[in-house]
Copies of this chain bind each other. A is one copy, B any other.
Amino acid sequence: MGPRWKRKGAEAKALADPMSKIVSDLRTSLMLSNSQGILSGRSVLLGADAAQTELLSRACFGQPIITAEKDIQWFELSMEEGFYLCYSLRCIKIVGEDKRVKDEQQVWKYMTSKWVAFPVFFKAYSHLRMKNWVVRSGSQYGVDFVAYRHHPSLVHSEYAVLVLSKESGDANGRLRVWSDFHCTLRLCGSVAKTLLAINIDSAGKGVTSPSCLDSYEVEERTVTRWTPEECRENQIVVENRTK
C-alpha cells in the first residue's frame, strides 16, 4: 500500500518541500533563539515566535495551546517530542518548574520516572523521525503512533505503529493474542494503513542514561493478512507451462 495523497498536486508539493529541510529550519530557528521547553507533568511546554510557530506546525511537533499571550504561541509537546528536540536535535534546553535548566541526564531521569516505558517509546519515535517520517499519536486507531510521509494536510498516514518490546512491562503488551492481531489488522485494513510493529530490544543495556539508547536494537516488521487467493503459486505454474 503506497501513500494516499489528499489532493492533486500534493505529492509534487511534498517533493518540493522536503520534511528534512523543514525540520532543519526549525532546528536552526530554535537554536538561534535559545529556546527552552518547560516540563509540565507528562508534557513539555514550548513558547514560539511567529516564524517558529509556522515551522512547528509544518514539521508537526506538538499541539498549539490557546492563551491570552499575544507575542508568544505556546505548544504542548509530548515527552517524545520534547526529548527529541532536546536530545536528538539539540536545539532546545529543558527547564524544570523551578526555571533551572536540566541537563540531559536529569531530563531523562524525570521522563523515565513519569513513564517507565519512555525509553522504548522514545527509541521508536526517534527512529522514525530520523528517517523524516512525521510521527503523531495513534490513539484514534488504538495504536501507539501513526506515521505520515509528509504533512498530514497533504497525505494520509501510511503506517499504524505499535511499539513492542521483549522485556515485559517495557511496552504496551499488544499483539500477544490472535484476537488482538485480528482486531488490529481488520481496523488497519478499514482505514487503509499498514500495521508496522517496531520491536525494541534493549539488549539488557538498561535505562540509566540516554546513551543506552544507542545500544537498543530496532526491528521493523509490517504485518499484513495472508490471503490464500493472493498467495497461490498458480501464476508461477502458468508461467512455467507457457514457457
Contact = CB atoms under 8 A, between A and B. Distances in A.
Contacts of A183: 141-143, 180, 183-184, 187
Contact of A173 (B162, B172, B176): B176
Interface in A119-176: 138-144, 162, 172-174, 176
A174 B182 CA distance: 12
A104 B183 CA distance: 34
A156 to B, nearest CB: 16
13 contacts: A140-B182, A140-B186, A141-B186, A142-B182, A172-B179, A173-B173, A174-B177, A174-B179, A174-B180, A183-B184, A183-B187, A187-B190, A190-B190
A181 interface: yes
A178 interface: yes
Interface string A77-110: 0000000000000000000000000000000000
Interface residues of A, number: 24
Interface string A8-28: 000000000000000000000
Please state the number of chain copies in the assembly: 2
Contacts of A177: 172-174
Enumerate the 6 nearest inter-chain pairs by beta-carbon distance, A residue then B residue, closest first. A142-B183, A142-B182, A187-B187, A172-B177, A142-B179, A139-B182
A144 B179 CA distance: 7
Contacts of A179: 138-139, 142-144, 162, 172, 174
Contacts of A180: 142, 172, 174, 180, 183
Which of A140, A176, A179, A185 lies at the interface centre, i.e. has the most chain B CB atoms within 10 A of its CB?
A179
